[in-house]
Amino acid sequence: NPQYVSGHWDSYEAGARRAGREVSRSDWRMVREVLVAPTDEEAWELSYGGMMGRMMTEYFIPLLGAFDFHKFLIDERNPPADGVVTVEYCARNNWFVGSPETVAASIEKVYADVGGFGHLLLYCFDYSEAPEAWRRSMDLLANDVMPRVAHLTGD
């Protein structure tokens, strides 16, 4: 969630200052779950209903639960109604999933929420059962989404 991640920058900046190093948000890298499809509905099905959803259900959410880290996934502005972090909650509140327009808008919002970053790294998933969907997602990200957010450099 953006509130938690923005604190990462504060820690990084303080550590760099103690070490006598200069910092720039243009060097800061953010890792996110990303899936782009021609429509929001198709992206939702491929993400929540695909390998992203499976990995979160079978591995990541249980792992975080074992360490009581679910709280770091909760957006304080929009917490889950029952307090339970689910794959659907993560997909709707933390992932960049949707059409090129939707994903670009999500990137813009998180960029503003955290104060800027210079690089977006992808949290990748095994889409061996639907490789063309993953390739298409990467193509849409590179050719439709990134040009829309190229002005977000962290400077």
Query: Domains of the chain (ranges plus CATH)?
Result: 2-9+23-149 (3.20.20.30)
Predicted pLDDT at 6? 82
* Choice between 125 and 142, residue whose per-residue pLDDT is larger: 142
Whether 108 and 152 have beta carbons less than 8 Å apart is answered as yes
Per residue in 74-104, pLDDT (tens digit) is 888 888 889 889 898 888 889 999 999 999 9
Could you give phi then psi for residue 108, rounded to 5 degrees? -60, -45
The closest of 68, 154, 76, 146 to 111, measured between CA atoms, is 154
Average pLDDT over residues 49-66: 92
Average pLDDT, the chain: 92
The string of DSSP codes covering the chain is -HHHHHHHHHHHHHHHHHTT----GGG-EEEEEEEE-SSHHHHHHHHHTSHHHHHIIIIIHHHHHHTT-GGGG--TTS--TTS---HHHHHHHTSEEESHHHHHHHHHHHHHHHT--SEEEEE----TTSHHHHHHHHHHIIIIIHHHHTT----
Cα angle, residue 74 at apex, residues 70 and 77 outer, rounded to 5°: 165
pLDDT band at 122 (very low <50, low <70, confident <90, very high): very high
Q: Is the pLDDT of residue 14 over 80?
A: yes
34 vs 31: CA distance, rounded Å:
9
